[in-house]
Amino acid sequence: MSERARLSGWTIILLTLALLPLYLHSARWIDFLEMTLFVAVLGQGWNILGGYGGQYSFGNALLFGTGAYIQALLQFKFGISPWIAMWFAIAGVVAVGAMVGFLSFRYGLRGSYFALITLAFAEAFLVLSRSLKSITEGGSGVQLALNQDPAQAIATFQFNFAGPFLKEYGFYYTIFTILLVTYAITWWMERSRFGAQLVAVRENEDAALALGINTFKVKLGAICLSSAITASCGVYYVQKFLFIEPGIAFGPSKSVEALFAPIIGGLGTVVGPLLGSVFIHGVGEATKMTIGQALGGRPGVDLILFGTILILVLAFLPRGLVGLVEAVWKRLSGGRDA
């Protein structure tokens, strides 16, 4: 696909995302869109390191959870403004990510070993967040006070009692903005020296080294960027739900959600995580609406579906849905525009 086709595609996608909720007017559908964009951002955080850099993390919950906890605890314990807390959250997560990256890459952990160590760190933080009650409030989690004063809505980063527009759309446009920023960064990265070197590391680390790339530094840079993006998801989550507990923060489900979207959508592409997230949430919602009733609302159906989609994509679409879309596009444009 040419750069121009890509840009027009993005214009259409972003305009749709910007305007769609205004026409939906339904709290349920706006919630659905919010969660879709949330996972799209979470997935981009994974995609930077996993898709572009080839380092598959199985523990991105470590980054999400650390961000969420810093955001929650700074407000809960010290009454710090959420707008200030978020910078500490991002910085804190980058520090944690850099530490894990430094240790893993310094000791040359690749492939399965890198996956295992990220998993181990997430598990360690899960245990710590449950047991260090004096710091984290333990297993019962942190509940933030609900602001009921409309005048304080923006100052408290809470839109539940805000004026008419913010109340309805505040969180949607928050996650939409986060998506815009993180996807713009990824778009820029893809077209930069750093991005080219990161992909080179993924494709062949020895060749990258021979061509003068400091592969350690490049991987470390990628994990820091990945951390910052994932941290923003933690911040968003806490502001939206005003609650965080160890299982949500550091349990395996966020780690898994983070890798589903980019793998299904298309690894190492800007649009992949968004496409993947829209697809799995769309399929999940469609299932609920059609056969959900017949199944009696039992839990597990959507994850059975997502797991199956994951396996099928791995088996038949090595480049994910993006690869499929590009193949179709090539067909339609008569193979002129590869």
Partner 1 sequence: MLEVQGINKSFGGLHAVSDASLFVPAGKVVSLIGPNGAGKTTLFALISGFLRPDSGTVIFDGTDITGKAPHLICQMGLVRTFQVVKPFASLTVRENIAVGAHTRIADRKAALAKADGVALLVGMDAMLEQSAGDLTIAGRKRLELARALATEPKLLLLDEVMAGLNATEIAELVPVIRTIRDTGVTILLIEHVMQAVMSLSDYTYVLNQGVMIAEGEPKTVTSSPDVIEAYLGHGAAERLAKMEARDA
Partner 2 sequence: MELLGFSLPSYGWSTIFGSTISGVFLGSIYALVAVGLTLIYGVLHIINFAHGALLMLAMYAVYFLWNILGIDPYLAMLIVVPGGFAFGYGLQRFIIGKASHGKDEITLLVTLGVAIVIENMALFFFSATERSVRVPYDLDGIDLGVTYAVYPELAALVGSFLITLALWAFMTRTDTGKAIRAVSKERQGAQLVGINVDHIFAVTFGIGVACVAAAASLLVPTYAVHPQIGSLFVLIAFTVVVLGGMGSFVGALVGGFLIGVTEQLGRLYLGESLGVITISVIFIFVLLFRPTGLFGVKAG
From residue 272, how far is each of 15, 72, 93, 248, 299 by CA, in Å?
18, 30, 24, 25, 27
**Judged by CB under 8 A, does residue 47 bind partner 2?**
no
Query: What whole-number distance in Å separates Cα of residue 267 and Cα of residue 83?
Result: 32
Q: By C-beta, is 124 or 286 nearer to partner 2?
A: 124
Cβ(69)–Cβ(142) under 8 Å?
yes
Q: What part of residues 294-313 is at the interface with partner 2 (CB under 8 A)?
A: 295, 298-301, 303-304, 306-308, 310-312
- Partners of residue 142 on adjacent β-strands: 244
Nearest by Cα to 228 from 28, 93, 53 = 93
Nearest-approach distance from CB 337 to partner 1, in angstroms? 12
Q: By C-beta, is 74 or 208 nearer to partner 1?
A: 208
Nearest-approach distance from CB 126 to partner 2, in angstroms? 9
Q: Which does 119 bind (CB under 5 to 8 A by kind): partner 1, partner 2, none?
A: partner 2
Q: By C-beta, is 148 or 214 nearer to partner 1?
A: 214
Q: By C-beta, is 133 or 193 nearer to partner 1?
A: 193
Among 213, 220, 242, 275, indicate the residue that binds partner 1 (CB under 8 A). Answer: 213
From residue 191, how far is each of 185, 186, 198, 269, 329 by CA, in Å?
10, 9, 11, 11, 22
Nearest-approach distance from CB 291 to partner 2, in angstroms? 12
Query: What whole-number distance in Å separates Cα of residue 260 and Cα of residue 40?
Result: 10
**Judged by CB under 8 A, does residue 282 bind partner 2?**
no
Complete DSSP assignment for 133-197: HHHH-GGG-EEPPPP--GGGTTTTT--TTS-HHHHHHHHHHHHHHHHHHHHHHHHHHHTSHHHHH
**Which tokens sit at 52?**
């572009």
Among 1, 120, 180, 196, indicate the residue that binds partner 2 (CB under 8 A). Answer: 120
Nearest-approach distance from CB 111 to partner 2, in angstroms? 5
Cβ(16)–Cβ(200) under 8 Å?
no
The residue type of 215 is: T
Among 8, 81, 204, 333, indicate the residue that binds partner 1 (CB under 8 A). Answer: 204
Q: What part of residues 138-197 is at the interface with partner 2 (CB under 8 A)?
A: 138-139
Q: By C-beta, is 164 or 212 nearer to partner 1?
A: 212
Query: What whole-number distance in Å separates Cα of residue 146 and Cα of residue 152?
Result: 11
Among 210, 289, 294, 315, indicate the residue that binds partner 1 (CB under 8 A). Answer: 210
**Judged by CB under 8 A, does residue 325 bind partner 2?**
no
Q: By C-beta, is 200 or 270 nearer to partner 1?
A: 200
Site size toward partner 2, by CB under 8 A: 45
**Which tokens sit at 188?**
């820029």
**Judged by CB under 8 A, does residue 336 bind partner 1?**
no
**Judged by CB under 8 A, does residue 60 bind partner 2?**
no
From residue 225, how far is each of 44, 45, 180, 198, 221 by CA, in Å?
10, 8, 15, 12, 6
Q: Which does 306 bind (CB under 5 to 8 A by kind): partner 1, partner 2, none?
A: partner 2
**Judged by CB under 8 A, does residue 180 bind partner 1?**
no
Applying CB under 8 A, which residues contact partner 1? Answer: 191-193, 196-197, 199-200, 203-204, 206-215, 338
